[in-house]
Amino acid sequence: MKNLIKTLAIMLTIITLSAPLYSQTVLFDRKVKIDSVRGKWGKNLTNHFGVYGGFGFVAPVQQSTGAEIIFGKASNLELGFIYKRRVFNWFAVGTRAYYEIFNYRIKQTADKIFPDNSSSVKQKMVMQNAGFAPYLRFTFGRHGNIIGTYLDLGVFYNIVLAEWQIQKGCADGFDKKKLNYDYMNRAYWGYQAVLGRNMFSLFAKFNAARVVKNSVSSVDMPPLTVGLRVSI
């Protein structure tokens, strides 16, 4: 019995002393480190969600005589959310949801007919819109978990929430600011292209539908807006 106890004690001692040596070689690891698993949310992973802001100018192209804008003073401010779902390494689909303000500064020319034919020192039409813009994204080059270089092609749909007519220095001597003037269509749509790298991008939006109601005037606002966006 004593010999058995001595033998067991010697074996236990040997196992205890040799355990650190065997522990240096991992034959099978059942636990996978968390940071080694590829996540589903990230700038270049399966899903990406972000916030962005943009500022642009209404370009003086395809202008209607009688409703010309002042380039550099006709602007667009946009704040929104963006979602992207990657399909392939080079291709993704997504959408933007946003709130925006258009400030159409109108030239005071002799042939002006919109929003009226009176002369002012300053006159502008202001619109507040809510919209969404689905898009297809094409990504260029190899990169890690960053947005990288991309081209977005898509459409947008805007719902007009409110509109103002603002005039200063009117011929009758009274400044005017009128809310909910029924000049603009309640909704319109168009095309959009975005060329970007990481957090910065250039955008161009082109209205495919009229902004000004046909029943109000035969003229319309210029359809093209170009500018810069920054993603947060």
CATH code: domain of residue 175? 2.40.160
135's tokens:
């898009």
Model pLDDT, residue 207: 98
Does any domain span residue 4?
A: no
Is 4 a residue whose pLDDT tops 80? no
**How many helices and strands in the chain, by DSSP H and E?**
1, 9
Does any domain span residue 21?
A: no
Model pLDDT, residue 232: 85
Is 16 a residue whose pLDDT tops 80? no
Pairing of strands 47-58, 224-231: antiparallel
What range defines the domain where residue 40 resides?
Answer: 31-231
Does any domain span residue 172?
A: yes
Does any domain span residue 6?
A: no
- Nearest Cα neighbor of 125 from 63, 169, 76 is 76
Is 43 a residue whose pLDDT tops 80? no
Does any domain span residue 26?
A: no
What's the Cα-to-Cα distance from 144 to each of 38, 43, 149, 196, 232, rounded to whole Å?
12, 9, 12, 16, 18
- C-alpha to C-alpha distance for 139 and 64, rounded to whole angstroms: 37
- C-alpha to C-alpha distance for 101 and 201, rounded to whole angstroms: 19
pTM: 0.78
Model pLDDT, residue 6: 53
Does any domain span residue 164?
A: yes
Does any domain span residue 14?
A: no
Number of domains in the chain: 1
Is 33 a residue whose pLDDT tops 90? no
Does any domain span residue 126?
A: yes
User: Quick one: pLDDT band at residue 115, thresholds 50, 70, 90?
Assistant: confident
